Structure 1
Amino acid sequence: MKFIHAADIHLDSPLNGLSAYPDAPAEQLRSATRDAFTALVDRAIEEDVDFMVIAGDLYDGSWRDYNTGIFFCKEMGRLKRAGVPVFLLFGNHDAESEMTRKLDLPDNVQYFSANKPETLRVAGLAVALHGQSFKQKETTTNLVTGYPTAVSDHFNIGVLHTALEGYVAHANYAPCTVAELHAKGYQYWALGHVHEFAQWSGTSTIVFPGNLQGRNIRECGRRGAVLVTVEDEEIVSIERILIDVLRWEHLQIDASECEALEDVSRRIGAALHTLLDMDAHVPRAVRVTVTGRTKAHGQLFGLEAQLRAEVLAQVASIGNERLWLEKVRVQTEALIDAENLPERMDAFTDLKEILSAAAVDPDFITMLQAELAPFAAKTPLDLQPLVPLLEKIRQSDLKTLIDEVAPGLLAHLAEGA
């Protein structure tokens, strides 16, 4: 038999990080989670799977209107006509306490009760699924201890929305340990909540499929579900199904060998082309971070907006239907260490001392804030992503601003000397 295990679909959840930019793919951002789920249903039908398991956070919270539920019912209807039952568990985002709207689901969909753990079975197959949905979003008790005993002569699947042993990026809901999961004696654990793919082997096979569609730059790389094949109650394969329809990527560009801004731009362009060598059909939203000790550091100082424009030109040449730029960050360092400028360079030495004193001079910082605040207030908000130092001025964080500006300024002057 074959089944698909998915989780963390977050239907109709917005994709964040691109909408502020004029070339953002607005329609794809709005429909990405739906399009990914439709692709998952397509794959289930193509593979002729015996059933599907959804391990929590199908929804991103209570629906804004009924269209989210109607869309899900439509996709379940497609699976019903294909003879595919679906076993659904609700997690923290779609816990019973969070959902104010509901619709009756097609009868091929069974869902786990939030009142207590229960066992559901697949008609015509010796398969038992054990699980419990969340009643409250903040479910911080260990649910596994109450899960039923494995059913003999059946393939047992535990369905659980959990932080497991405490993934720091995720709230610690329904915590438990890998050892506790193995101790239940189930052949497979279908987990949800953690958005990255992970797998453990042993007495049980334990899998987080990751979320179906990345929703921001923190969810980079390929996304999807898993296809599990079983023979004689033994798992013979676990295949990742990669069906995300818009992918987030973070390019780290080493500018160590670059001498000027133009060299950095060309290096970024080459990396963007290479990025599309894999899964070229999937559009990308990309953040670029430039790093390294480089001769170009002084030229890059304060020119994030120009570098962004250069990268946007590279993106435009590749095609905005395939690639969008989320952000460009410059985190380079100077080849010439401002702390070790030759002492004979009296002007540089004096400037270095002035900048060091300025960062801890309250009168100077007060004066600087008074001078810069009106400028920052008049600056259009849409410049904020392009000039991060503006936020330092708005927050009156002038010491950090001086600390960040001083090394670049000294390097820029020294490299031009």
Structure 2
Amino acid sequence: MFKFVHTADVHLDSPLKSLSLRDPEAGEVIANATRQSFSGIIDLCLEEGADALLIAGDLYDGDMNSVKTAGFFAAEMRRLNEGGVQVFIVKGNHDAESKVTRHLVLPENVHIFSARGETVDLQNYGIAIHGLSFKNISAPDSLLPMYPAPMAERINIGLLHTSLAGYAEHDSYSPCSVQNLIDFGYDYWALGHIHKRTVHHQSAPVIVMPGIPQGRSIKESGPKSVTIGFVHDNGQIDIEERPVQVAQFERIEVDVSGLSDMRDLVECLDIALGEAVPRIECGLLVARLNLVGSTPLAPRLERDLDLVLEEARQAAARAGKAFVELVELDVSNESQGRQSTLPIDELASLMKVDELQATKEHLRQILDPLTSKLPLEVRNALAPSGTIEGEMLNEWARRGMQKVIARLVIDDRESQ
């Protein structure tokens, strides 16, 4: 039997920038998450007695120029070499940007496929492994026609970095359809590029997109893993999913309906996080809490969101192996929707009018100069076009309105 581990989109040493910006201490704790996860993949290969590790692109993260990252990778490859594990790699769009790795000296067990399309014949196993690396950072056309034909009397495995027919959150790279892959004649397609795990075809051929092995933000929430493949002597290929992440991002909804005291909120946070920690498949839960429901606490939650976040982080510390990166609010006051002639309620009604174009334009004039002073990665995340507009501007205006009303409500209560 031939056993292999299939991964992709490692994005080695990719910094968790959004978390680091929100909380430097937490960012430091899991700054090496991608590196630790990759070491876990190496450990898995050795523990399972794998014959090969397949990396289907984006091993590195963009224009990787860190000699330390390259040295770390080389050291891990030497561990596999000592364990008798061969490594097969195709370069993806991010790898094509890296300059340091072009001169990296790797042990003899590592084979990086060229941009011409190659086949490695593992005669002792009856396995042929095919691959083709990205030459440039873009590949708008299918690379499939450049792949070698299947070898006769071999189990054929292909490594391909592709966006397939396209995904909304991913740019198009080497597009092709699942049917194209089925028709090509290989027995297993080891894909990469899409960060969500998907088994596109279960047998003859098996087609697997393993997903990213370590999430890097709340957008990559949920358990992450690699795929182990077992090629039996009769040619049948079975697969298993194995978790390898060291930190798991999760959105957690916390119902605060009817709560009227902050002590009740703390208890609610303790319960929510205490229940969430045992459900994760790795060492650390990184949670984003969404407080929902109708509660008299709504104005205070809006006004004192920083305090709520600190209470949530204390609850996470009590739960153990957890950290709260952000608290979002989707709460309302229990009196909302009732007829009211109170000045604050009338003001809130006026501020909710969406047609206040002059107000939006004034906000844009304030925000655009501030946006230009932000770090590049933050600026691109907030305003790729260079200006705050559309739904983001509406959302920020809504949140600002809520905070103003919340402060007025609390001040009114405290003055009575």
TM-score range, shorter chain: 0.7 to 0.9
Aligned-pair CA distance for 1:41: 0.8
Helix, strand or coil: the match of 1:9?
A: coil
Aligned-pair CA distance for 1:282: 0.7
Aligned-pair CA distance for 1:139: 1.1
Question: 2:339 corresponds to which residue?
Answer: 341
- My pick for the range that moved more, 74-83 or 256-265, is 256-265
Aligned-pair CA distance for 1:161: 0.4
| Shift in alpha-carbon separation, 1:362–1:168, aligned structure 2, 3 A | closer
CA distance in 2 between partners of 1:398 and 1:50 (Å): 53
CA distance in 2 between partners of 1:357 and 1:3 (Å): 59
Q: Is 1:309 aligned with 2:305? A: no
Aligned-pair CA distance for 1:71: 1.4
| Aligned ranges 1:98-247 → 2 under 5 Å | 98-101=98-101, 102-114=103-115, 116-201=116-201, 202-247=203-248
Aligned-pair CA distance for 1:125: 1.1
Preserved contact between residue 245 and residue 282 of structure 2 (Cα < 8 Å): no
| Shift in alpha-carbon separation, 1:362–1:216, aligned structure 2, 3 A | closer
Helix, strand or coil: the match of 1:24?
A: helix
Unaligned runs of at least 5 residues, structure 2: 379-386
Amino acid at match of 2:339: L
- My pick for the range that moved more, 236-245 or 355-364, is 355-364
| Aligned ranges 1:74-89 → 2 under 5 Å | 74-89=75-90
Spell out, residue by residue over 1:305-359, the C-alpha distance to the aligned partner (whole angstroms, 9 max, x if none): 121122122123234xx22221111122344334x425xx464664456546797
Question: 2:10 corresponds to which residue?
Answer: 9
Spell out, residue by residue over 1:357-403, the C-alpha distance to the aligned partner (whole angstroms, 9 max, x if none): 7973849996x999x99xxx9xxx9xxx9xxxxxxxx9799976664
What percentage of aligned pairs have identical amino acids? 31
| Shift in alpha-carbon separation, 1:365–1:329, aligned structure 2, 3 A | same
Helix, strand or coil: the match of 1:72?
A: helix
CA distance in 2 between partners of 1:168 and 1:399 (Å): 23
Spell out, residue by residue over 1:119-171, the C-alpha distance to the aligned partner (whole angstroms, 9 max, x if none): 12225111111221000011111011232222222111111001111111111
| Shift in alpha-carbon separation, 1:142–1:365, aligned structure 2, 3 A | closer
Question: 1:390 corresponds to which residue?
Answer: none
Helix, strand or coil: the match of 1:289?
A: strand
CA distance in 2 between partners of 1:353 and 1:4 (Å): 58
Question: 1:254 corresponds to which residue?
Answer: 255
Helix, strand or coil: the match of 2:268?
A: helix
Aligned-pair CA distance for 1:180: 0.4
Aligned-pair CA distance for 1:46: 0.9
CA distance in 2 between partners of 1:35 and 1:410 (Å): 43
Normalising by structure 2, what TM-score?
A: 0.82
Amino acid at match of 1:303: D
Preserved contact between residue 248 and residue 280 of structure 2 (Cα < 8 Å): no
| Aligned ranges 1:288-367 → 2 under 5 Å | 288-319=289-320, 322-338=321-337, 340-342=338-340, 345=341, 347=343, 350-351=346-347, 354-355=350-351, 360=356, 362=358
CA distance in 1 between partners of 2:11 and 2:308 (Å): 35
Amino acid at match of 1:162: T
Preserved contact between residue 10 and residue 60 of structure 1 (Cα < 8 Å): yes
Helix, strand or coil: the match of 2:223?
A: coil
CA distance in 1 between partners of 2:297 and 2:274 (Å): 22
| Shift in alpha-carbon separation, 1:129–1:358, aligned structure 2, 3 A | closer
Question: 1:391 corresponds to which residue?
Answer: none
Q: Is 1:278 aligned with 2:279? A: yes
CA distance in 1 between partners of 2:350 and 2:27 (Å): 48
Helix, strand or coil: the match of 1:17?
A: helix
CA distance in 1 between partners of 2:125 and 2:281 (Å): 39
| Aligned ranges 1:45-64 → 2 under 5 Å | 45-64=46-65
Preserved contact between residue 352 and residue 410 of structure 1 (Cα < 8 Å): no
CA distance in 2 between partners of 1:356 and 1:59 (Å): 46
Spell out, residue by residue over 1:269-305, the C-alpha distance to the aligned partner (whole angstroms, 9 max, x if none): 2121112113575112211111234444344232211
Amino acid at match of 2:278: D
CA distance in 1 between partners of 2:286 and 2:258 (Å): 26
Helix, strand or coil: the match of 2:69?
A: helix
Aligned-pair CA distance for 1:265: 3.2
CA distance in 2 between partners of 1:358 and 1:124 (Å): 70
Helix, strand or coil: the match of 2:65?
A: coil
Aligned-pair CA distance for 1:218: 1.3
How many residues of Structure 1 are paired with residues of Structure 2 in the alignment? Answer: 392
Preserved contact between residue 89 and residue 111 of structure 1 (Cα < 8 Å): yes
Question: 1:389 corresponds to which residue?
Answer: none
CA distance in 2 between partners of 1:411 and 1:87 (Å): 59
Amino acid at match of 2:241: R
| Shift in alpha-carbon separation, 1:42–1:353, aligned structure 2, 3 A | closer
Helix, strand or coil: the match of 1:30?
A: coil
More helix, by proportion: 2
Preserved contact between residue 188 and residue 206 of structure 2 (Cα < 8 Å): yes
Preserved contact between residue 32 and residue 246 of structure 1 (Cα < 8 Å): yes
Aligned-pair CA distance for 1:37: 1.1
| Shift in alpha-carbon separation, 1:395–1:79, aligned structure 2, 3 A | closer
CA distance in 1 between partners of 2:198 and 2:99 (Å): 29
Unaligned runs of at least 5 residues, structure 1: 386-393
Preserved contact between residue 120 and residue 129 of structure 2 (Cα < 8 Å): yes
Preserved contact between residue 297 and residue 412 of structure 1 (Cα < 8 Å): no
Preserved contact between residue 360 and residue 397 of structure 2 (Cα < 8 Å): no
